[in-house]
Amino acid sequence: MAASSDRRMRGFNRWMKYHGIECSDALLLSAENGGADDSCRSLSISVKALCDLKEGDVVATIPKQSCLTVRTSAASSLIEEAQLGGYLGLAVAIMYEKSLGSQSKWFQYLQILPPFEPIPLLWSLSEIDSLLSGTELHKIVKEDKALVYQDWKDCIKPLLDLDSFQLHPEFFTADEYIAAKSLVASRSFQIDEYYGAGMVPLADLFNHKTAAEDVHFTSLSSSSESDADTGSGKTDADDENDGDDQHIAPHFHSETEFSGGSDLELSSNSENESTYLEMIMVRDVKAGAEVFNTYGSLGNAALLHRYGFTEPDNPFDILNIDLDIVVQWSLSLFSCRQSRRRLLIWRKLEYSGCVSQDSEYFEISYDGEPQVELLVLLYIMLLPEEEFHELDLALSATGEVKDTPTLCLLGKEAFVSAKDSDASKKKLLTRGVCQALFSLADARESFYGPNSLEDDTKSFTESSHITDPKLYHSLMLRISERRIIERLRSFAASGAGILRTAIGTRKRKSVERT
């Protein structure tokens, strides 16, 4: 097996040279046999520094032509004819290149890739139900599975019946499509407008570190080469995005895409032959250490969903509480009519939760701080009837909004400036609101079933990411989420705290729903 991995890595190194990919001699592509579960053929690759690397060092250049994209694949006309856009098209390009075997331009590259990445999309339904139950991923992954299968049925299966394409059916099964999707999810990059999403050899061998990356990937066109030559020290194109020089990171799109080919039609500008990607060090790395990229500011649910792993103490973790849970809590205390009226007033004040597809929810941050929209809703739900009536009148159909104290406290203006916002939020944290937060925490916690957080923690310490990565990472996710619930309880117990996120600036960092 070691001989086979050495042979494949040597083949890949030769292939890179042949296709003009320059990899610095200071980098070691280190391959170990990976895949403890189903992926026995796969290598676990990481990139290490062979000598001290300095911020600003260019460690690789990759011609865009060497990337496997819908544009560059031998399947490009097939994909165009079938009108398969974006990520679906890229998955077909991968399946097609695999079907060509050693005839594929990317044969030696495909040889070092795992056949699939064991992200939850590839888990069985019973694994999803038993391992992800209660977590932010449970419903999403089940929906993904159904949608991805439907995509295959609608867009790929019909291609097999067309004589003109002459596809080998065994390379285009639903399982092969899902395997290709997992590679697209975990290793594709958004290259540029012309090439769209693609597999970028070498760039996709760097592992992720949250908020502590060593290297950035930038897209350079010939017009910005002079910038690099002058040594202007550009290392982070996010800060200096002048159109030509763009920081790119592995990118996952969970939306399933139906045929339409809009990506192909949209990006029909002429290709620039001299355009390439560059990898630049953004901090010093000592000889022998691993060189990391970052895949973004992602919580564990998003990391597991897209890449199949999690990280301990991930500051980007987030927990959601669905509006339905809040409504159920309200119905347990008040009549249906009262709950509905108060929800309506909350909406009249122009509040809403985060919305994704058919669900509305509130975010609880890593620190256990609830989104202000939730605090306002709980406050309104608990207002004494008289005060509520006054608020209702102030917001009445005449449109004449009077400045009642309650309206001043609850109006969105109260949360605009950071200083006012903190003071207003503290006022919302009445005893009743804090008790309500405890009830919501209990209700959300009940989704995880009978095992306590202590049970999960014990199982986690006994699990191994090598021998049972699915169990290990799903337990890590459960524990990360349940610790947020613990911190929500502490937040409610303390009754206040400095709340950082200003209204309107909140960004959803967890999982994209399909």
Ligand X SMILES: C[S@@+](CC[C@H](N)C(=O)[O-])C[C@H]1O[C@@H](n2cnc3c(N)ncnc32)[C@H](O)[C@@H]1O
Q: Which residues are near ligand X by CB under 6 A?
A: 43-46, 117, 186-187, 204-205, 207-208, 250, 307-309
| Least separation in angstroms between CB 448 and ligand X | 24
- Taking the least distance from each CB to ligand X, the nearer of 117 and 322 is 117
- Taking the least distance from each CB to ligand X, the nearer of 62 and 205 is 205
CA separation for the pair 182, 175 (Å, rounded): 11
Q: Is the torsion defined by CA of 434, 435, 441, 444 positive or negative?
A: negative
If we measure between CA atoms, which residue out of 390, 478, 492, 472 comes closest to residue 138?
478
- Taking the least distance from each CB to ligand X, the nearer of 87 and 307 is 307
| Least separation in angstroms between CB 373 and ligand X | 33
| Least separation in angstroms between CB 126 and ligand X | 23
Cα–Cα distance list, 368 to 317, 475, 489 (Å): 10, 19, 8
| Least separation in angstroms between CB 25 and ligand X | 20
Structure-token match 């065994």, residue found: 170
HSE, CB side, 13 Å, CA atoms: give it for residue 60: 28
- Taking the least distance from each CB to ligand X, the nearer of 296 and 432 is 296
- Taking the least distance from each CB to ligand X, the nearer of 111 and 186 is 186
- Taking the least distance from each CB to ligand X, the nearer of 196 and 308 is 308
Backbone angles phi, psi at 220, to 5 degrees: -120, 135
| Least separation in angstroms between CB 110 and ligand X | 12
CA separation for the pair 350, 306 (Å, rounded): 33
- Taking the least distance from each CB to ligand X, the nearer of 86 and 308 is 308
The string over 268-277, giving b where at least 16 C-beta atoms fall within 10 Å of a residue's C-beta and e elsewhere, is eeeeeeebbb
| Least separation in angstroms between CB 476 and ligand X | 11
Q: List Cβ neighbours of 469 (8 Å cut-off, separation of 6 or more).
A: 36, 37, 118, 308, 309
- Taking the least distance from each CB to ligand X, the nearer of 306 and 482 is 306
Q: Are the beta carbons of 114 and 41 closer than 8 angstroms?
A: yes
Question: How many CB atoms within 10 Å of residue 62?
Answer: 25
| Least separation in angstroms between CB 306 and ligand X | 8
- Taking the least distance from each CB to ligand X, the nearer of 45 and 75 is 45
DSSP string, 169-233: GGGSSHHHHHHHHHHHHHHEEEEETTTEEEE-TTGGGPPB-TT--SEEEEEE-HHHHHHHHTT--
| Least separation in angstroms between CB 212 and ligand X | 11
Backbone angles phi, psi at 234, to 5 degrees: -65, 120
Cα–Cα distance list, 28 to 50, 51, 188, 292, 295 (Å): 6, 10, 22, 13, 21
Structure-token match 């399909």, residue found: 514
| Least separation in angstroms between CB 142 and ligand X | 21
- 3-state secondary structure string, 398-430? CCCCCCCHHHHHHCHHHHCCHHHHHHHHHHHCC
- Taking the least distance from each CB to ligand X, the nearer of 8 and 489 is 8
| Least separation in angstroms between CB 470 and ligand X | 12
Amino acid at 3: A
| Least separation in angstroms between CB 18 and ligand X | 20
- Taking the least distance from each CB to ligand X, the nearer of 250 and 370 is 250
DSSP string, 2-15: HHHHHHHHHHHHHH
